[in-house]
């Protein structure tokens, strides 16, 4: 229990040192020569060039790609890592990073620091992170926030399932507008940076 309290205090101090930004979720298993790795790199670079902090889980794959892009653009590149038995080695492209012990604390940091989200293809972890955010918006635990799913063909199956949920009245039609789906990094960067414009606020729905 003492270790958990210490972890939480460390996280709260970390929050004070990091600006709000765009959190990028996606698979830790994506390889550097893959399409989505290259797109995540481009998005991280484009966001940093717009003076928007790029926040990831701090590991390999899509996380590394986004951090790499932000780092190359000399922007703020944040990693919120977690101790795992596999897949979660810290990437070397962060300018600020923290390693926590629990998923709950890691999610708290993501929610606290994120002004918007970009979600790339991924597995259970990515789906868990995406579901957490859209549930918080749906239940009004956080205000509406820009969420861009990246990769139309990848997310088609999930959208069909969401339509099935809507047919069963398990979700409302308006819940489908919590997020948007886009393809190209520049399109996503333009959308998110427009949403984060202080004159427009963060609700781009």
- Residues 191 and 31: their CA atoms lie apart, in Å, by 26
Report helix, strand or coil for 14.
Answer: helix
> What is the pLDDT, as a whole number, of residue 1?
46
Whether 196 shows a pLDDT value over 80: the answer reads yes
CATH number of 2-195: 3.40.50.450
Structure confidence by residue, pLDDT tens digits, 119-170 = 999 999 999 999 999 999 999 999 999 999 999 999 999 999 999 999 999 9
Task: Detail the DSSP E strand segments found in the chain.
Answer: 21-25, 53-56, 77-82, 96-100, 114-119, 147-150, 180-182
pTM of the entire structure? 0.91
């Amino acid at each position: 229990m003492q270790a958990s309290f210490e972890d939480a205090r460390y996280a709260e101090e970390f929050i004070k040192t990091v600006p709000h930004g765009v959190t990028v979720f996606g698979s830790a298993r994506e390889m550097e020569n893959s399409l989505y790795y290259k797109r995540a790199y481009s998005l991280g670079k484009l966001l940093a060039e717009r003076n928007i902090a790029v926040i990831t889980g701090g590991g390999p794959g899509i996380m590394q790609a986004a951090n790499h892009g932000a780092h190359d653009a000399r922007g703020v590149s944040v990693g919120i890592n977690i101790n795992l038995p596999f897949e979660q080695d810290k990437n070397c492209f962060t300018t600020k990073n923290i390693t926590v012990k629990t998923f709950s604390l890691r999610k708290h940091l993501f929610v606290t620091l994120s002004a918007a989200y970009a979600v790339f293809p991924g597995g259970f972890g990515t789906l868990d992170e995406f579901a957490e955010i859209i549930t918080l918006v749906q239940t009004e635990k956080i205000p509406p926030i820009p969420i861009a799913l990246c990769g139309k063909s990848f997310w088609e199956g999930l959208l069909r399932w969401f339509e099935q949920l809507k047919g069963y009245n398990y979700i409302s039609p308006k819940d489908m507008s919590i997020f948007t789906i886009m393809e190209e990094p520049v399109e996503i960067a333009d959308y998110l940076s427009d949403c984060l414009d202080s004159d427009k606020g963060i609700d781009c729905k």
